[in-house]
Copies of this chain bind each other. A is one copy, B any other.
Amino acid sequence: MEAERKNVCIVGGGLVGSLCACFIAKRGYNVDLFEMRQDFRADATVLGRSINLALSHRGLEALERVGLREKVTKSGIPMHARMIHSLDGKTRPIPYGRTGQFIMSVDRMGLNGVLLTEAESQPNITIHFGHKLVSCDPTTGETVFSTDDSTVKRTYDLIVGCDGAFSAVRKSMMRHCRFDYEQRYIEHGYMEIAFPPSESGGHCMATNYLHIWPRNQFMLIALPNLDGSFTGTMFMPFELFDQLKSPEAVVKFYRDTFPDALELLGEKTVVDTILSLKALPLVSIRCQPYHLNDKMLIIGDAAHAMVPFYGQGMNCGFEDCIILDDLMQQFGHDFGKVLPAFTNSRVEDAHAIVDLALYNYIEMRQSVNSVTFLLRKKLDNALNWLLPNHWVPLYTMVTFSRTPYSRAITDRRWQDRVLGRLLCAAAVAASVCAACAAHRVGVTRALRTHWSQMAFRASRMIEGLRKA
């Protein structure tokens, strides 16, 4: 009863905003969803950011809760492993988790369309396209939106900012409280490039993989689409992008670093793409608090934008919706309790995944090339198989569970310590055994030298593993 008398304003009709509207409407509130742009479903040429998305456990659970999991996953493509492309054209997969665990390539616009259509079908949600937030007041709940030809004023009991990394709701919060805020760019940019379907209309590379060309200081990745194409993305230092200013330079660069991709893309696509597009920046945003009074809340990228390398931006934003929903369940209509509890429970985890996302760029573009990294993965998997409830690899905790992100970092540190000690003990034991054996069997001096060299190499490798 009481819920019907409360009006909630959601600013931003992107992925998180449209999902959040569905969650909040389920609790009986009246929801107005405002989106700055026009309805892109009516006009296929309107394009937002189009990096493919990797949907994983947290995102899937949120979709499940609003009854959309099946609808979304039936048009997604499972990716069971990274497929590493070496310079010589060889490929090798590195699985994401155990057999049956995968992340899912989904189309951003398609997913957004499903969510908007679902929101639209709810009787207590009204979507207002072409409405830009002009101002909002955290004390009275008054909002002002502008359209092409008018100004709309309305007052709400709750305003939820889902308006992305450059959130207008967040900006208005910053004027009204002691708001800690940080935005930090990395020195690398990104640029998308489309791999066409093969001549037969299928995928030109193995379908169920996230393809990576890791070149240490930069990389190319590609995610499969349903139509047989792949969406590729180059991540490179801006300085490097700036050097690719002529067709010759572009082709030479691709021939030297991504020869097999060049084969698939064709010289024309590569040259046209790189010479016509501008590399786009990548930003991390950390802030707090996420709420103001009992009136305003920010979630998703508005609260914690991150670089895309852990595939958690959307998943984390969707999990925000779950957490908000759980708190509304716990505290009922008392937004004065729900909102501070959201800040308290979410800031630390959001900061953790922002950090992890930065770290994972190095893993994707560089560490996957290293033997010690691969050994560590194998060791992690073996220990996970032995102790499934006690030893869960970091990537699995982040991607295939709802373990709080900050807890995932703590657990990984604990695992590192244990592994470090175990490996040291093993190295000592191995050295002692080797020395004893060499002494007892009376081997020649040359052989003993050989043993000690092996022991030295083993200890170096173990040291590497510990750091990986």
**Is B185 a contact of A178 with CB atoms below 8 Å?**
yes
Chain B residues near A283 (CB-CB < 8 A): 178
Q: Chain B residue with minimal CB distance to A180?
A: B184
**A293–B281 alpha-carbon span in the complex (Å):** 18
Chain B residues near A181 (CB-CB < 8 A): 181-184
**Is A183 a contact of B180 with CB atoms below 8 Å?**
yes
* Chain A residues bordering chain B, tally (CB within 8 A): 10
* Contact residue among B180, B185, B281 (Cβ-Cβ distance under 8 Å from A185): B180
Chain B residues near A185 (CB-CB < 8 A): 178-180
> Is chain A's interface secondary structure helix, strand, loop, or mixed overall?
strand
Chain B residues near A182 (CB-CB < 8 A): 181-184
**A283–B175 alpha-carbon span in the complex (Å):** 13
Could you give, for residues 168-209 of chain A, a 1 whenever the CB lies within 8 Å of some chain B CB and a 0 otherwise? 000000000011111111000000000000000000000000
**A283–B179 alpha-carbon span in the complex (Å):** 10
**Nearest chain B CB to A182's CB is how many angstroms away?**
4
Q: Chain B residue with minimal CB distance to A182?
A: B182
**A178–B282 alpha-carbon span in the complex (Å):** 9
Number of chain copies forming the complex: 2
Q: Chain B residue with minimal CB distance to A189?
A: B178
Q: Chain B residue with minimal CB distance to A286?
A: B182
**Nearest chain B CB to A351's CB is how many angstroms away?**
13
Could you give, for residues 96-131 of chain A, a 1 whenever the CB lies within 8 Å of some chain B CB and a 0 otherwise? 000000000000000000000000000000000000
Chain B residues near A179 (CB-CB < 8 A): 183, 185
Within 8 A of B (CB), among A283-331: 283
**Is A281 a contact of B184 with CB atoms below 8 Å?**
no
**A22–B379 alpha-carbon span in the complex (Å):** 67
**A182–B180 alpha-carbon span in the complex (Å):** 8
**A175–B185 alpha-carbon span in the complex (Å):** 13
* Contact residue among B178, B183, B281 (Cβ-Cβ distance under 8 Å from A281): B178
Chain B residues near A180 (CB-CB < 8 A): 183-185
Chain B residues near A178 (CB-CB < 8 A): 185, 281, 283
**A314–B281 alpha-carbon span in the complex (Å):** 34
**Nearest chain B CB to A355's CB is how many angstroms away?**
15
**Nearest chain B CB to A297's CB is how many angstroms away?**
19
**A103–B180 alpha-carbon span in the complex (Å):** 32
**A281–B179 alpha-carbon span in the complex (Å):** 10
Q: Chain B residue with minimal CB distance to A171?
A: B171
**Nearest chain B CB to A109's CB is how many angstroms away?**
26
Could you give, for residues 362-404 of chain A, a 1 whenever the CB lies within 8 Å of some chain B CB and a 0 otherwise? 0000000000000000000000000000000000000000000
**A182–B181 alpha-carbon span in the complex (Å):** 6
Q: Chain B residue with minimal CB distance to A174?
A: B183
**A181–B185 alpha-carbon span in the complex (Å):** 9
**A248–B49 alpha-carbon span in the complex (Å):** 60
**Nearest chain B CB to A338's CB is how many angstroms away?**
23
Q: Which of A178, A179, A184, A281 has the most CB of B within 10 A?
A: A178
15 contacts between A and B (CB under 8 A): A178-B185, A178-B281, A178-B283, A179-B183, A179-B185, A180-B183, A180-B184, A180-B185, A181-B181, A181-B182, A181-B183, A181-B184, A182-B182, A182-B183, A182-B184
| 5 additional contacts (CB under 8 A) given A178-B185, A182-B183 | A179-B183, A179-B185, A180-B183, A181-B181, A182-B184
Considering the complex of A and B, which 3 residue pairs feature the smallest CB-CB distances, nearest first? A178-B185, A182-B182, A180-B184
